[in-house]
Amino acid sequence: MKNSFKIILASAVLVLSLNACKKDALNLTPTNDVTADIAYATPAGYKQQLVRLYANYGLTSPSGSDNSDVGGLNSGFADFLRLFWTSQELVTDEAVCNWGDTGIPELDNATWSTDNQFLRGLYSRSISQITLVNDYLRQSTADKLASRNITGADATNVARYRAEARFLRAYQYWVLLDAFGNPPFVTEADEIGKVNPKQIQRAALFTYVESELKAIESDLAEPRANEYGRADKGADWALLARLYLNAQVYTGTAKYTEAITYSSKVIAASYALNSSYANLFKADNNIGNTENILTINYDGVNGTNYGGTTFLINAAVYASADAAGMVAGEYGVPNGGWAGNRTRQNLPALFPNTTGSIDKRGVFVGPKATIDAISDPNDGLKVTKFRNVTSGGTTPASLNGTFSSLDFALFRLAEQYLIYGEAVARGGSGGSVAQALTYVNALRQRAYGNTSGNLVAAALTTDFYLDERGRELYWEGHRRTDLIRYGKFAGATYLWPFKGGVKAGTSLPAYRNLYPIPNADLIANPNLVQNTGY
């Protein structure tokens, strides 16, 4: 696979980030400084503006990491991945944070309010990215291309760019669908600023995302045939598989057969498991990695912000040696180490230490697994899964010794193996337990380094897949969605420390399966109705 798009993204950031040096490989100019007719005057301009759509996933503003283009949110909190990760992990059994920033204790305790700044930030960030895509699509219609004398192969290329832009929009609408359920809805067909956006209901948004992903499939590149970091058919199928796995939550109607169909498409494509689980989360994971399907690309020198994998690494380790001997430099951030995020004991408990049979995916350190006090940074084990160090042991260049060049996988093949197996266990058609067992044991052989962790078909219960997803995908932004699908997020059938604000854990009301529409948007847009319970 070509790695050039990671270089192109870094070049885009050279213009978009104040922290970057002044080289201007693509001569990119933020579109808010020029008219659309200038920005989109050439075929290269359309490619440059596509780069901006992707770069927006890894930046906090067009003017550097010290600024935020999400109103009212500190630039350090404004990165998409940091907001998404917080919404998916901090409210669950997998993570906890001892920082006292406004809104974090609410998330730790799953007692968030309608004004939680991190939830408002995720909502605003997703809508901002949808808005950018809508503008790109308005500027790339056939009529617009003709008026700018863009024809032939150049117009064909722009058609592919449009399909990728629509994928990025569908992904953000999935984020809103999953987290907020009933968000405002706008496409390129809506007039800008003429009327307040209408609210779409969750089931209708599911149908829209599904239809968009199917509509663009033929215009996307074949799996792994696109530049690294750009969406292709594999990413399209992977999001459809994830969408269908959760269809019963989103719409009330199960679509496990469809989940099998689309996960199978991904599995049958040109992806393959990386031989090393640990190397998936190292700074050279963009090189020769056939498992990742679509990534958010980070550059620790030219594209810096305090979210992304910089956050995942720094927030888990100390600046100097702690009680477990952790030193930030060992994780590729020698001048970093913010010491905030740890696990709750439920997560390491998924990795039993059996003599001669160890699941190496569980990489936790610390003096104490149990959370007795969230404020105590020594309560809860730290996760060392993400490292700004290459598979060869070197540390890449890092601005101020703090920022990470580790790319983050939005989709990888292992998830598709587990979607296939869970959908089979839940009664979907078109798959088999025997094939699911093959996929599960492939993951476990990598995890154990041998066949000692292999299972038999009878072990592949529905509940098994929740635990196995915890072992394979922990801290990758899946847990809240998984617990809701299993009916274990709300209610009291499954507890974790400080769930509901009680040390031993307590029941959560069902309405907390959705996040609230932020108050500020309710006030600004009378078309919106708050989600039930808030």
> How confident is the model over 138-152, as pLDDT tens digits?
999 999 999 999 999
Is 356 a residue whose pLDDT tops 90? no
Is 434 a residue whose pLDDT tops 80? yes
Place of tokens 């590729």: 332
Residue 189: exposure state from Cβ atoms within 10 A (0-12, 13-18, ≥19)? exposed
Closest CA to 489 of 461, 514, 517: 514
Q: Is the dihedral of CA 199, 202, 205, 207 positive or negative?
A: negative
pLDDT of residue 325: 55
Is 522 a residue whose pLDDT tops 90? yes
Compute φ and ψ for 524, nearest 5 degrees. Answer: -75, -25
Is 193 a residue whose pLDDT tops 70? yes
Q: Is the dihedral of CA 483, 489, 492, 497 positive or negative?
A: positive
Compute φ and ψ for 410, nearest 5 degrees. Answer: -75, -30
pLDDT in tens, 117-146: 999 999 999 999 999 999 999 999 999 999
Q: Which residue has the higher pLDDT, 343 or 192?
A: 343
pLDDT of residue 318: 84
Using a pLDDT cut of 70, give the percent of the chain over it: 92
Q: Is the dihedral of CA 89, 92, 94, 96 positive or negative?
A: positive
Around Cβ 459, how many Cβ atoms within 10 Å?
11
Please compute the mean of the pLDDT values over residues 193-210 and round it to a whole number: 94
Is 513 a residue whose pLDDT tops 50? yes
How far apart CA 530 and CA 517 sit, in angstroms, is: 6
Is 113 a residue whose pLDDT tops 80? yes
CATH class of the region 4-302+406-524: mainly alpha
CA gyration radius, the chain: 22
pLDDT of residue 18: 28
Please compute the mean of the pLDDT values over residues 170-189 and round it to a whole number: 98
DSSP 295: E
pLDDT in tens, 299-309: 999 889 999 99
pLDDT of residue 329: 84
The gap between the terminal CA atoms of the chain, to the nearest Å, is 47
Looking at the DSSP assignment, which residues form a beta bridge with residue 294? 411
H helix count then E strand count, the chain: 18, 8
Is 357 a residue whose pLDDT tops 50? yes
Please compute the mean of the pLDDT values over residues 245-268 and round it to a whole number: 98
In 282-396, alpha helices (H): 308-314
pLDDT in tens, 77-92: 899 999 999 999 999 9
Using a pLDDT cut of 90, give the percent of the chain over it: 83
Which two three-digit tokens encode residue 272? 């393959």
pLDDT of residue 322: 56
The answer to whether 331 and 325 have CB atoms below 8 angstroms apart is: no
H or E element in which residue 342 lies: strand 341-342
Is 323 a residue whose pLDDT tops 70? no
Is 20 a residue whose pLDDT tops 60? no
pLDDT of residue 6: 52
pLDDT in tens, 214-228: 999 999 999 999 999
pLDDT band of 320, cuts 50, 70, 90: confident
